[in-house]
A and B are shown apart, each in its own frame.
Chain A
Amino acid sequence: MASADSSLRWKHLHKVLTKSGPFSDEDWVPGPETITALETSKILGAGGLGCEILKNLALSGFKDIHVIDMDTIDISNLNRQFLFRQSDIGKPKAEVAAAFVEGRVKGVKITPYVGKIQDKDEDYYMQFKIVVCGLDSIEARRWINATLIGMVDPENPESLKPLIDGGTEGFKGQARVILPTLSSCIECQLDMHAPRPAVPLCTIATIPRQPQHCIEWAHQIAWQEQRKDHPFDTDDLDHIGWVYNAALERGKQFNIHGVTFQMTQGVVKNIIPAIASTNAVIAAATTSEALKIATSCNPYLDNYMMYAGEEGVYTYTFEAEKKPDCPVCGNLARNMTVDPEMTLQDYIDTLGDRPEAQLKKPSMRTEEKTLYQRFPPQLEAQTRPNLKRKLRDLVENGQEIAVSDPAYTIDFRYRLLFK
């Protein structure tokens, strides 16, 4: 009975995976092997497009899904995040969504983690085959991008984790496929994101014209003046309430109407209205790429799809290019064998001579230590004593250093291997 059910549920999917189509790769072998590959692919979904992504992955035949989300369910989510009910308000999204989809789609295993993607390390991300992200901030995107690129070990094909990124903003959205180190990465494409328009601080301080200005004033100036010792927490309703009342008061002073509690929440949390159908379109694009990459049944997106729904519907797909001077994927660390007994000064001198480096005036650091910084003078004086120290006292074997030199517009990374 159960097996009859399940074969019916997957009938259409299996049709796609057991027959070659006009676009399938000629080396592709359709059939049970492909289906097993899909069902055993461990996949990670993260972030705000969670409901859609989770539902789509489960219904696409993935059976081992992990999900990360740090948020708890808010009443305002219920209009579009269809896995949540009123009784779930206040509970973690990842857990509720996982339980819901597991209950609905038999045979799928969903492992939730409530927290930030940054809580996890390379060992954690190494277990997945594909990472699908619907994150809500550029910062989180840059982090996962840099992490996955840093994990790539050319000796080990399994270390390459395709990253599928989806994002929406009102009626606009994008989906992209990133093959860490091989294709254009999020950092390469950073220029495409226009920073969020901000209102000049002086407008907020002296001549507010809109209710949003009053809220910004209460949030940025009044809070600082009057509640300096309490760090503002965007999730604390008392804090939002305080800002709301201060903004309301200011609105009265300047005869500006329209400050509401909800608008206050929106402004201080930088919320952009989420449109359910845009999320659905983008999540569908990312998850169908996940299906194609996991099974090779059809060519995958190469590599950026934009969706513009604010004036009619327009989509366009193009290949974003790798930036040669990308600070994350443009200068992957190269191995450099060094004598741990040499001083930093000696090492810097050799950098000028080594044919692969030829750096005459380098400044350099590790993640935690400034090794030597040539300018400004105060920092130069503070780091000068390092020049006399031995490399083994400054860095560990295998540690990565980053080197900047005014003669080059790009920076370099070296992994120092002790002789």
Chain B
Amino acid sequence: MLKIWSMQQQAENAEGAGGKKKKKVTAAQLRVQRDLQELTLGSTMKMSFPNPDDILNFTLTIEPDEGMYKGGAFHFSFSVNQNFPHDPPKVKCTQKIYHPNIDLEGNVCLNILREDWKPVLNLNAVIVGMQFLFLEPNASDPLNKEAADDLRQNRDAFKRNVRASMAGGTVRSVHYERVMK
């Protein structure tokens, strides 16, 4: 009655499955597996997987070797949901740091993590973007408004504040975490 099955079929699938079907690798897992394999990390970035079987959740550590944040070690948690790559990964800084584009809760303002995310982008694009934030902090997209004002008004003072905050000091009455390597 239903003529669908008379349509052409792939012959290679002719063999039946053995026993009860088991859970399949999801499209999101498969895409992350591929993305991880295609990463270029360089010497300034490390990743760690608290549970190696769960590749959708991991941390990235960025250790800039140039720029104002040189010498620090910055940790970010990555959380990829099953709707990846339709949804972007969720990225948060797990330390309290002084940065114009990262707020005190760890939220990150990076265009490709939100408004400019597209499924053709991959984890490498995100990681490169994250690294760029430490080389070129950007005062025009502020999440930490005080830090952005400092950067805009007095670059040298901003640099001093970065160093003080990274050493675990207090800037504008906010106490920051020590993030030196």
CB-CB under 8 A from B36, the residues of chain A are 363, 373, 375-376, 379
B37 and A363 form a contact (CB under 8 A): yes
B60-96 residues at the A interface, CB under 8 angstroms: 82-83, 86-87
Scan A394-419; emit 1 where CB is below 8 A from any B CB, else 0.
Answer: 00111111101010000101010100
Q: Give the distance in Å from the alpha carbon of A138 to the alpha carbon of B111 in the complex.
A: 22
Q: Give the distance in Å from the alpha carbon of A220 to the alpha carbon of B113 in the complex.
A: 14
A370 and B52 form a contact (CB under 8 A): yes
| B156 sits at the interface (CB 8 A) | no
CB-CB under 8 A from B52, the residues of chain A are 370, 373, 379, 382-383
| A202 sits at the interface (CB 8 A) | yes
A398 and B37 form a contact (CB under 8 A): no
Give the bracket for the number of chain B residues in contact with chain A: 35 or more
Which of B14, B18, B86, B103 lies in contact with A397, CB distance below 8 A? Answer: B18
| B15 sits at the interface (CB 8 A) | yes
CB-CB under 8 A from B27, the residues of chain A are 142, 146, 187, 327-328
Q: Give the distance in Å from the alpha carbon of A258 to the alpha carbon of B84 in the complex.
A: 34
Instruction: With A378-B49, A402-B25 as known contacts, state yes or no: A139 contacts B19, CB within 8 Å.
Output: no
A373 and B37 form a contact (CB under 8 A): yes
| B143 sits at the interface (CB 8 A) | yes
B18 and A365 form a contact (CB under 8 A): no
Instruction: With A221-B103, A365-B29, A378-B49 as known contacts, state yes or no: A332 contacts B10, CB within 8 Å.
Output: yes
User: Least Cβ distance of B146 to chain A in Å?
Assistant: 11
User: Least Cβ distance of B72 to chain A in Å?
Assistant: 20
User: Least Cβ distance of B175 to chain A in Å?
Assistant: 16
Q: Give the distance in Å from the alpha carbon of A154 to the alpha carbon of B39 in the complex.
A: 38
Q: Which of A179, A225, A402 has the most CB of B within 10 A?
A: A402
B1 and A296 form a contact (CB under 8 A): yes
A335 and B15 form a contact (CB under 8 A): yes
User: Least Cβ distance of B36 to chain A in Å?
Assistant: 6
| A355 sits at the interface (CB 8 A) | no
Which of A142, A156, A333, A383 lies in contact with B83, CB distance below 8 A? Answer: A142
Q: Give the distance in Å from the alpha carbon of A27 to the alpha carbon of B27 in the complex.
A: 39
- Chain A residue with Cβ nearest B14: A154
User: Least Cβ distance of B18 to chain A in Å?
Assistant: 4
B47 and A191 form a contact (CB under 8 A): no
A398 and B17 form a contact (CB under 8 A): yes
Instruction: With A370-B55, A383-B52, A411-B34 as known contacts, state yes or no: A332 contacts B13, CB within 8 Å.
Output: yes
| A229 sits at the interface (CB 8 A) | no
Scan A367-401; emit 1 where CB is below 8 A from any B CB, else 0.
Answer: 11110011111110011000000000000111111
CB-CB under 8 A from A201, the residues of chain B are 107-109, 114, 143
| B26 sits at the interface (CB 8 A) | yes
Q: Give the distance in Å from the alpha carbon of A398 to the alpha carbon of B29 in the complex.
A: 20
| A46 sits at the interface (CB 8 A) | no
User: Least Cβ distance of B21 to chain A in Å?
Assistant: 6
User: Least Cβ distance of B19 to chain A in Å?
Assistant: 5
| A275 sits at the interface (CB 8 A) | no
B22 and A406 form a contact (CB under 8 A): no
CB-CB under 8 A from B3, the residues of chain A are 25, 27, 296
| A270 sits at the interface (CB 8 A) | no
B38-52 residues at the A interface, CB under 8 angstroms: 38-39, 41, 46-49, 52
| A199 sits at the interface (CB 8 A) | yes
B4 and A367 form a contact (CB under 8 A): no
A37 and B1 form a contact (CB under 8 A): yes
| B159 sits at the interface (CB 8 A) | no
Q: Give the distance in Å from the alpha carbon of A406 to the alpha carbon of B26 in the complex.
A: 19
| A271 sits at the interface (CB 8 A) | no
Q: Give the distance in Å from the alpha carbon of A156 to the alpha carbon of B38 in the complex.
A: 39
Which of B2, B39, B49 lies in contact with A375, CB distance below 8 A? Answer: B39
Instruction: With A187-B27, A201-B109, A334-B12 as known contacts, state yes or no: A402 contacts B33, CB within 8 Å.
Output: yes
Can you list 11 A-B contacts with CB-CB less than 8 angstroms, sorted by A residue number?
A34-B1, A139-B86, A146-B26, A153-B16, A179-B4, A197-B115, A205-B145, A370-B52, A378-B47, A383-B52, A398-B22
Closest 9 CB pairs of A and B: A402-B25, A367-B23, A382-B52, A398-B18, A202-B141, A202-B109, A155-B16, A327-B27, A404-B34
What residues of chain B have their CB less than 8 Å away from a CB belonging to chain A?
1-5, 7, 9-10, 12-27, 29-31, 33-34, 36-39, 41, 46-49, 52-53, 55, 82-83, 86-87, 101, 103, 105, 107-109, 111, 114-115, 117-119, 141-143, 145, 148
